[in-house]
Chain A
Amino acid sequence: MKHTLSILVNNHPGVMSHVSGLFTRRGYNIDSIAVGVTDNVDVSSMTIVLNGDDFIVGQVKNQLLKLPDVLKVQDMAYASSVQRELVLISFSITETNRSEALTICNGFDVKILEMTEDSLLIEFSGNSRQVTNVISVIKPFGIREISRTGQIAIAYRNQNSV
């Protein structure tokens, strides 16, 4: 089962190695990892998505909390947090399927960043399932290049709002 961990860490060199090294050496696989600085320049936020049962995720949390540079670890329950991922896709189009492509883009709330005679560059953000969905719909056109950020997450303030 997929878990999303939101981790606050000190923002200095080597912390990323400490965190990812912990996963490597204990044999846990990271599905995605996204890191950025918070409003406090001394603190970064990491969102790590991993696959594992409650025992494994509990172990990961315990071991993460032992790292001196880890300030907070939060296991994001899907229902009570907002989870987003950004994807950029460049894909081929032809004269005949251009309008079909544009219709799909409209339908999925996709932002068009560039259109040439034979290609479209688009941007889409949503939860991981939606991102995967968009990719699969675009795929038949012929994807030239794709870049996903990995998932980020934040908990709703009001846990009843869902």
Chain B
Amino acid sequence: MSSTTEAITGGRLMVELLEEAGVEIVFGYPGGAILPFYDELYHSKKIKHILVRHEQGAIHMAEGYARSTGKLGVCIATSGPGATNLITGLTDAKLDSIPILAITGQVSTDAIGTDAFQEADIFGITIPITKYNALIKKADDLSRHFEEAIKIAMGGRPGPVLLDFPKDVQLEKTSVRKASSLKIAPHHYERPKVKGDPQEFAEALNQAKRPLLYVGGGAINSFASAEIKALAEKANAPVTTTLMGLGAFPGTHPLSVGMLGMHGTAYANKAVLECDYILNLGARFDDRVAKYQDFAPNAVRAHVDIDAAEFNKRINVDYILHGDLKDAIREILPFVKGGDRTSWIENIQSLKKNHPLDFDNSGDSIKPQDFLQRVYAKTKGEAIVSTDVGQHQMWAAQYYLFDKPNTWLTSGGLGTMGYGLPAAIGAKFGNPDKTVICVTGDGSFQMCIQELATIAQSKLGVKILLFNNNFLGMVRQWQELFYEERFSESQWTYNPNFVKLAEAYGIPGMRIEHKSEIEKGVEFFLKDSGSALIEVMIPAEEKVFPMIPAGKSQQDLIEFKDLGKLKK
């Protein structure tokens, strides 16, 4: 429905559309080609703009905001280099299905294609990494593209969208505007009707003696936690989650077997081998979890997903339900019967007992696993935790138990180093009353370290837990185990003084090196609501276990206790 109103500039219209959709915060960085829009933003009383130090920071902040609130994340950049700095974040959001709107300035329409100053074909560049993108050629088209973009970002399987906005179109007047019902509130959009036979689906589960629920990031996007809990309890079925699904089912629940996959728990991975029925709820049989077609070799496989293209993409399944996870489980539940699964549950308990998460905590050095357990205890598991990528990410996934959805922010699909700090900043803006902790490593931290300034400028209380081993730890671990200890370019022979660096930004910092300082360190870092950085020196040779070597499957899992065998 287009309606005619008083003519306003494209830039003004964009601001009004954002306001009407309920956008309260945007993360961005101005520049020549986006100035008319910024000039209009200057007058907005509803939208808060967070000035970042690098556009990669802006989009990861938008992601952290989106993941922790369930709302749309919005970021702004200028044309050319500003826009191309969003590429990593757009790809990250595509792989992890995060709803993001990126607005980029573009050179004037008459200059497009002439290699003008700060021109890049961002429309063409982002085709494969966005769910939708458009170059707005006329101010009259803006409203239509905006509506399309928001609906696509938020609807179905969420994802990133990009609107490329030429400078003259920002200045051009238009009175064309759609009567909009757009909202960025979670789950605002109509969900497609569930397709498939829920009864048949449930009966396959009822017949199983050793069922296992395998929960992915779709559970977070669909706000399906309550339904998953009801299903697990009714069916008396253990639940494992993917890295993306952490928090969708309480990590402290007796039926939880933790994370599965490459660095998942031994008991989750063993449960996959032993189960006779596996129900994939909003996961995509990612290659870090399900390496081969014989994944869950003894099991009937069932899959619920909102994206039909995921069915039988990597792993063939026996039962399919296509639709929103929350709705689908509601349809299955009435047909699910309890059944006696005592021996299966006992079996799981003994797997947990005999194959626990384990590390050697003797000696004077600080073990990251130990430190994370203490942070978990101190925060009572209530914090929102973001991570970067590497060993610290896996330790955090293993040792901080997530009970609630939208509290675990990590780059799953793309594995983006530099994600953690800005994501934590975005999450803190979305959840000012919660403790937000960024768990990072000395490698990852330096990829977006400039956003410390954004923390300082906004006087934001973000907690930074930096594990420092003066190495790219995960690279080192692979080199040690699979490249005969040839540590090619994985060691930092120079690292800055991170504590002084934090202090230079007005953020209190502390370094600890010995076990005796742990208590003091945890206390310092979490003592008040302000920001703080704790640098924890850890042994370079500390490794993440369990581990399924790359290219291998569940059968080849290596536990901590197998380390000796591995290195023989």
Most interface-central of B123, B127, B134, B312 (chain A CB within 10 A):
B127
A62-B308, A62-B309 known; A68-B132 Cβ under 8 A? yes
Chain B nearest CB: distance from A133 CB in Å? 38
Is B128 an interface position by the 8 A CB rule?
yes
Please name all residues of chain A whose beta carbon is closer than 8 Å to the beta carbon of B312 when the two chains form the complex: 55, 58
**Interface membership of chain A positions 21-35, coded 1 if the CB is closer than 8 angstroms to chain B and 0 otherwise:** 110010000000000
Is B307 an interface position by the 8 A CB rule?
yes
Q: Are B124 and A17 in contact (CB under 8 A)?
A: yes
Q: Are B309 and A17 in contact (CB under 8 A)?
A: no
Please name all residues of chain B whose beta carbon is closer than 8 Å to the beta carbon of A17 when the two chains form the complex: 124, 127
* Docked complex: B98-136 residues within 8 A CB-CB of A: 123-124, 127-128, 131-135
Is A18 an interface position by the 8 A CB rule?
yes
A14-B123, A14-B135, A68-B148 known; A25-B309 Cβ under 8 A? no
**Interface membership of chain A positions 1-40, coded 1 if the CB is closer than 8 angstroms to chain B and 0 otherwise:** 0000000000001100110011001000000000000000
Q: Show the binding face of A for B, using Cβ within 8 Å.
A: 13-14, 17-18, 21-22, 25, 55, 58-59, 62-63, 65-66, 68
Chain A nearest CB: distance from B51 CB in Å? 31
Chain B nearest CB: distance from A138 CB in Å? 39
Q: Are A68 and B152 in contact (CB under 8 A)?
A: yes
Chain A nearest CB: distance from B121 CB in Å? 10
- Chain B residue nearest to A19 (CB atoms) is B127
Chain B nearest CB: distance from A19 CB in Å? 10
Is B313 an interface position by the 8 A CB rule?
yes
A21-B128, A25-B128 known; A65-B308 Cβ under 8 A? yes
- Chain A residue nearest to B313 (CB atoms) is A59
| Contact of B127 (CB < 8 Å), options: A18, A59, A65 | A18
State the CA gap A65–B311 with chains docked (Å).
14
* Docked complex: B131-154 residues within 8 A CB-CB of A: 131-135, 148, 152
List 10 A-B pairs, minimum CB-CB distance, nearest first.
Answer: A62-B309, A25-B128, A21-B127, A68-B132, A21-B128, A63-B309, A17-B127, A66-B309, A18-B127, A68-B152
Chain B nearest CB: distance from A11 CB in Å? 15
State the CA gap A128–B123 with chains docked (Å).
35
Please name all residues of chain B whose beta carbon is closer than 8 Å to the beta carbon of A59 when the two chains form the complex: 309, 313
Chain A nearest CB: distance from B124 CB in Å? 6
Chain B nearest CB: distance from A9 CB in Å? 14
Chain A nearest CB: distance from B404 CB in Å? 30
Report whether over half of chain A's contact residues are helix, strand or loop; otherwise say mixed: helix
Q: Show the binding face of B for A, using Cβ within 8 Å.
A: 123-124, 127-128, 131-135, 148, 152, 307-309, 311-313
Known: A25-B128, A62-B309, A65-B309. 17 other contacts (CB 8 A): A13-B135, A14-B134, A14-B135, A17-B124, A18-B127, A21-B127, A22-B128, A58-B312, A59-B313, A62-B308, A62-B311, A65-B308, A66-B307, A66-B309, A68-B132, A68-B148, A68-B152
Please name all residues of chain A whose beta carbon is closer than 8 Å to the beta carbon of B133 when the two chains form the complex: 14
Chain A nearest CB: distance from B158 CB in Å? 13
Most interface-central of B128, B132, B134, B311 (chain A CB within 10 A):
B128
Chain B nearest CB: distance from A24 CB in Å? 8
State the CA gap A17–B133 with chains docked (Å).
12
Most interface-central of B148, B152, B307, B309 (chain A CB within 10 A):
B309
State the CA gap A66–B312 with chains docked (Å).
16
Can you spell out 29 A-B residue pairs with CB atoms less than 8 angstroms apart? A13-B135, A14-B123, A14-B124, A14-B127, A14-B133, A14-B134, A14-B135, A17-B124, A17-B127, A21-B127, A21-B128, A22-B128, A25-B128, A55-B312, A58-B312, A59-B309, A59-B313, A62-B308, A62-B309, A62-B311, A62-B313, A63-B309, A65-B308, A66-B307, A66-B309, A68-B131, A68-B132, A68-B148, A68-B152
State the CA gap A62–B124 with chains docked (Å).
22
Chain A nearest CB: distance from B141 CB in Å? 10
- Chain B residue nearest to A22 (CB atoms) is B128
Chain A nearest CB: distance from B253 CB in Å? 34
State the CA gap A18–B311 with chains docked (Å).
22
Please name all residues of chain A whose beta carbon is closer than 8 Å to the beta carbon of B132 when the two chains form the complex: 68
Please name all residues of chain B whose beta carbon is closer than 8 Å to the beta carbon of A14 when the two chains form the complex: 123-124, 127, 133-135
State the CA gap A66–B311 with chains docked (Å).
13
State the CA gap A13–B145 with chains docked (Å).
14
Most interface-central of A21, A59, A62 (chain B CB within 10 A):
A62
Chain B nearest CB: distance from A27 CB in Å? 13
State the CA gap A118–B404 with chains docked (Å).
81
Please name all residues of chain B whose beta carbon is closer than 8 Å to the beta carbon of A66 when the two chains form the complex: 307, 309
Chain A nearest CB: distance from B147 CB in Å? 12
State the CA gap A68–B311 with chains docked (Å).
19
Chain A nearest CB: distance from B41 CB in Å? 27
Please name all residues of chain B whose beta carbon is closer than 8 Å to the beta carbon of A58 when the two chains form the complex: 312
Chain B nearest CB: distance from A83 CB in Å? 27
Please name all residues of chain A whose beta carbon is closer than 8 Å to the beta carbon of B123 when the two chains form the complex: 14
- Chain B residue nearest to A24 (CB atoms) is B128
Please name all residues of chain B whose beta carbon is closer than 8 Å to the beta carbon of A13 when the two chains form the complex: 135
Please name all residues of chain A whose beta carbon is closer than 8 Å to the beta carbon of B309 when the two chains form the complex: 59, 62-63, 65-66
Please name all residues of chain A whose beta carbon is closer than 8 Å to the beta carbon of B307 when the two chains form the complex: 66
Please name all residues of chain A whose beta carbon is closer than 8 Å to the beta carbon of B134 when the two chains form the complex: 14
State the CA gap A53–B152 with chains docked (Å).
31
Most interface-central of A21, A59, A66 (chain B CB within 10 A):
A66
Please name all residues of chain B whose beta carbon is closer than 8 Å to the beta carbon of A18 when the two chains form the complex: 127
Please name all residues of chain A whose beta carbon is closer than 8 Å to the beta carbon of B313 when the two chains form the complex: 59, 62
Chain B nearest CB: distance from A152 CB in Å? 25
State the CA gap A69–B312 with chains docked (Å).
24
Chain B nearest CB: distance from A96 CB in Å? 53
Please name all residues of chain A whose beta carbon is closer than 8 Å to the beta carbon of B124 when the two chains form the complex: 14, 17
Chain A nearest CB: distance from B35 CB in Å? 26
State the CA gap A62–B132 with chains docked (Å).
16
Please name all residues of chain A whose beta carbon is closer than 8 Å to the beta carbon of B311 when the two chains form the complex: 62
Please name all residues of chain A whose beta carbon is closer than 8 Å to the beta carbon of B127 when the two chains form the complex: 14, 17-18, 21
